[in-house]
Amino acid sequence: MIGTGSASALFRRDMKLAFRRLGESLLPLFFLFTVIVLIPLGVGPGPNLLARMAPGMIWVAALLASLLALEHLFRPDLEDGTLEQWFVGERSVYRRVLARLFSHWLITGLPVILFSPLAAEMLHLPRHALGTLIISLLIGTPALSLLGGLAASLTLSTRGASVLLSILIFPLIVPLVIFATGAVSMAADSLDPNAHLGLLAAFTILSLTLAPIGIAAALRMNLE
Amino acid sequence: MSRLLEAHQLEFHRYGNPVFRPLDVALQAGRAIVLTGPNGVGKTTLLRLLAGILAPVSGTLQHNARVAFVGHLPAVKGDLTCRENLDYERRVGPPGLELAEALAQVGLAGLGSRPSRALSAGQKRRLGLARLLVRKTPVWLLDEPYASLDDAGCAGVDQLINRHLADGGGVVLATHQRHPRVDASQLDNIVLQAGIVEDEQQ
Amino acid sequence: MIWKTLKIWFHKLGSAPSFYRFAKVVAPWLWLGFAITTVYGLYLALYVVPPDYQQGDSARILYIHVPAAWQAMFIYGVMAILAAIALIWRIRLTEIMAMSCAPIGAALTLVCLITGSLWGKPMWGTWWEWDARLTSMLVLLFIYIGIMGLYAAFDDRRKGARIASVLILAGAVNIPIIHFSVEWWNTLHQPATIKLTGESSMDPSMLPPLIWMVISTKLFFGAALLDRARNELLDQDRSKNWVAKQLLQAGR
């Protein structure tokens, strides 16, 4: 079974490429900070207001960071012919899709998670909610990559793809944003966030099960 | 004689219309099939169908051995060096020739550390062919392998093909200029004309 | 015997010229039915039913708002089934019909949003509130627009229809989750809002106009779908023989 070999080889190559263009890869992180700095400049530095907005803002920043990298998720590979190679002689590209999404998450989701404590401090999020914030990001950002990957694969060969991508992704992630920010808000109010986190986890698991199937189908159709 | 690849009644549609009549393709070990025909007639489409990239509208396709496809696009990453690109290919496996050996056989010896985006069109083509060598795949599907190559390069391609056939592999290649210099006893022809298929087996 | 003729009729319907003729004949009747039921339903809604105890006459807009909302969701269900059939069996007619459903669903969703906004103004004082139903409908509108946009972005219509069908199915899985999450979000953040739909206590006299309007939206959907699908078919097959024959016949 060549399967695992090719998926891990793909992952290695993706990571190598990401580090070659480190500036581009770190762009999502700069974006996170732009959001974290701009919004208090816009709404005023009042700690209570910022604390209430913090969960939503950090999550929106995570979303935008993910969105930035989505245009480069499959398109370069389509253009240089490496994408069609995935399908040569293979019945299922499931593993390679997962490998690609995992590298996307490492570049977009993980930096956001690592810097979220700093962002939380800057936005005066109550300390006792920080754990929930990190957990919500840990569980939720993979779903962001999965659903973003679905939107990216659908719009792969269309003109005006970036606008369409944003329109497509928005309804898909509504539940994600609601559950994740809800969990952090609950924790900030010293209430139990576990119901929200449980639903968030269920949503991510559902995405993990179904999204790669849709992505594989959409990629193949777009190769025609 | 073992059949490396079999296809029955393959059909494909584009913009709602069939590209060619239902086609049968049978590739046997040690033989080469040459697809010829004018531009736009469906040679690339057929090759991509045989590779498994496109899903046929109807018909069956059976891969009895591993398949490799070299198309119009070089399928290498510009940011990586030639060596790194081949290394990835080799890891997809199963491994064939060593990297240096493969580069030497396509005439790119010494260019291993050059980023692929710095290569000329002809050199990129050669790198694409090198991809075939670092893996052990019995079936080679080649789309216009002679494009962008000089005479020495074309002769090199013929050498590679003949060696591959001698090793028991099979080749399906599409070309609209030069034909492969392969022994006639090992050749089959499929000629595609707009909508019509003529099939001559030797 | 009847089963066999039904099966043959169903298969024939799948062919383009037969469907075209079928749609051409049936659609006008559906439009007529739509016109009649709408007029009667609105008459009942505006004149016969007494004004609401709390909201007065402005509550009458619910007779358009609620059927539009239900139909917008129903259309998505039909579209999802058509999309699944299109993906699995690649039947061209189901592809065309699925794509024709989207604009109709989007239109009804828009009607629902606008009437919801008009209804809300006298009550809330603002043109928009983040009510659970309205927010869900807004998200649904985005989904419909996304489907229409994706389909329109492809030159090859059959390829576009198949890719849009994948999106439709992804939406189908997501919509119940969206409804649930928005409902939950709404109750947690706004514990005491006036519910737009006073379904808990519906006077029996409210039922007849509601039922007539629901029927009228269904007839609207059927008629609009047949006409849209018919036109799309004509457009896609414009170079084929049967179209030339049809147009010649129509021209006589």
Residues on chain C touching B11 (C-beta within 8 angstroms): none
CB-count burial class (<10 Å; 0-12, 13-18, 19+) for A44? exposed
What is residue A84's predicted lDDT score, i.e. its pLDDT?
A: 93
d(CA A167, CA A67): 11
- pTM for the whole structure: 0.90
- Closest by Cβ to A171, choosing from C143, C159, C185: C143
What is residue C144's predicted lDDT score, i.e. its pLDDT?
A: 97
Domain boundaries, chain C: 27-47+58-193+208-230
Taking an 8 Å cut-off on Cβ atoms, the answer to whether B14 and C156 are in contact is yes
Residue B94 is part of which domain span? Answer: 77-137
Helix (H, G, I), strand (E, B) or coil at B99: helix
Element (H, E) at B67: strand B67-70
Q: Is the pLDDT of residue B200 over 70?
A: no
B164-181 confidence digits (pLDDT tens)? 999 989 999 999 888 888
d(CA C80, CA C101): 10
What is residue A1's predicted lDDT score, i.e. its pLDDT?
A: 39
> Is residue C47 a contact partner of residue C25, using CB atoms and an 8 Å limit?
no
For residues B11 and B46, state if they share a domain.
yes
What is residue C212's predicted lDDT score, i.e. its pLDDT?
A: 92
ipTM metric: 0.90
Q: Is the pLDDT of residue C200 over 50?
A: no
For residues B1 and B61, state if they share a domain.
yes
CA distances A31 to A25, A115, A152, B177, Å, are 11, 12, 20, 51
Domain boundaries, chain A: 3-222
Percent of chain A with pLDDT over 90: 58
Residue B45: give its domain's CATH number: 3.40.50.300
The answer to the question of residue B36 being in a domain is yes
> Is residue A83 a contact partner of residue B45, using CB atoms and an 8 Å limit?
no
Q: Give the number of domains in chain B.
A: 2
User: Would you tell me how many other CB atoms lie within 10 Å of the CB of residue C128?
Assistant: 14
Pairing of strands B170-174, B139-143: parallel
Residues on chain B touching A7 (C-beta within 8 angstroms): none
What is the 3 state secondary structure string of chain A? CCHHHHHHHHHHHHHHHHHHCHHHHHHHHHHHHHHHHHHHHHHCCCHHHHHHHHHHHHHHHHHHHHHHHHHHHHHHHHHHCHHHHHHCCCCCCHHHHHHHHHHHHHHHHHHHHHHHHHHHHHCCCCHHHHHHHHHHHHHHHHHHHHHHHHHHHHCCCCCCHHHHHHHHHHHHHHHHHHHHHHHHHHHHCCCCCHHHHHHHHHHHHHHHHHHHHHHHHHHHHHCC
What is residue B201's predicted lDDT score, i.e. its pLDDT?
A: 41
A186-224 confidence digits (pLDDT tens)? 999 899 999 999 999 999 999 999 999 999 999 999 998
For residues B142 and B202, state if they share a domain.
yes
How many Cα atoms occupy the beta-carbon half-sphere of A140 within 13 Å?
33
In this predicted structure, which of A14-28, B57-71, C33-47, C191-205 has the lowest mean pLDDT? C191-205
Q: Is the pLDDT of residue A87 over 60?
A: yes
B163 touches chain A (CB under 8 A): no
Q: Minimal Cα distance from C186: which residue of A?
A: A178
What is residue B85's predicted lDDT score, i.e. its pLDDT?
A: 93
- Closest by Cβ to A89, choosing from B52, B73, B94: B52
User: What strands, in cross-sheet order, belong to the sheet with B23-28?
Assistant: B23-28, B3-11, B58-63
Q: Is the pLDDT of residue A88 over 50?
A: yes
Residues on chain C touching A218 (C-beta within 8 angstroms): 163, 166
Q: Is the pLDDT of residue A135 over 80?
A: yes
Q: In terms of DSSP H, where are the helices of C125-156?
A: 132-152
User: Distance from A199 to chain B by nearest Cα, in Å?
Assistant: 37
d(CA C68, CA C110): 9
What is residue C198's predicted lDDT score, i.e. its pLDDT?
A: 47
Which of C96, C154, C156 should one mutate to test binding to chain B, selecting the residue with the greatest count of B CBs within 10 A? C156
The answer to the question of residue B127 being in a domain is yes
d(CA A216, CA A220): 6
In this predicted structure, which of A75-79, B36-40, B62-66 has the lowest mean pLDDT? B36-40
Q: Is the pLDDT of residue A2 over 50?
A: no
User: Would you tell me how many other CB atoms lie within 10 Å of the CB of residue B193?
Assistant: 13
d(CA B14, CA B195): 13
Q: Is the pLDDT of residue B197 over 50?
A: no
Element (H, E) at A50: helix A47-80
Taking an 8 Å cut-off on Cβ atoms, the answer to whether C140 and A172 are in contact is no
Q: At A176, list the tokens.
A: 């994600």
Average pLDDT over residues C6-29: 82
C77-116 confidence digits (pLDDT tens)? 999 999 999 999 888 999 999 999 999 999 999 999 999 8
What is residue A69's predicted lDDT score, i.e. its pLDDT?
A: 85
Positive or negative, the Cα torsion across C167, C170, C171, C172?
A: positive
Q: What is the DSSP letter of B54?
A: S
Taking an 8 Å cut-off on Cβ atoms, the answer to whether A20 and B80 are in contact is yes
* Angle, helix A22-43 to helix A47-80, in steps of 10 degrees: 150
B16 touches chain C (CB under 8 A): yes
CB-count burial class (<10 Å; 0-12, 13-18, 19+) for B121? exposed
Helix (H, G, I), strand (E, B) or coil at C246: helix
The answer to the question of residue B71 being in a domain is no
Taking an 8 Å cut-off on Cβ atoms, the answer to whether B80 and A12 are in contact is no
A167 touches chain C (CB under 8 A): yes
Q: At C224, list the tokens.
A: 């609009």
Grade residue A32 by pLDDT with cuts at 50, 70 and 90: confident
Average pLDDT over residues C165-180: 95
For residues B118 and B157, state if they share a domain.
no
Grade residue A162 by pLDDT with cuts at 50, 70 and 90: confident
> Is residue B180 a contact partner of residue B161, using CB atoms and an 8 Å limit?
yes
Grade residue A4 by pLDDT with cuts at 50, 70 and 90: low
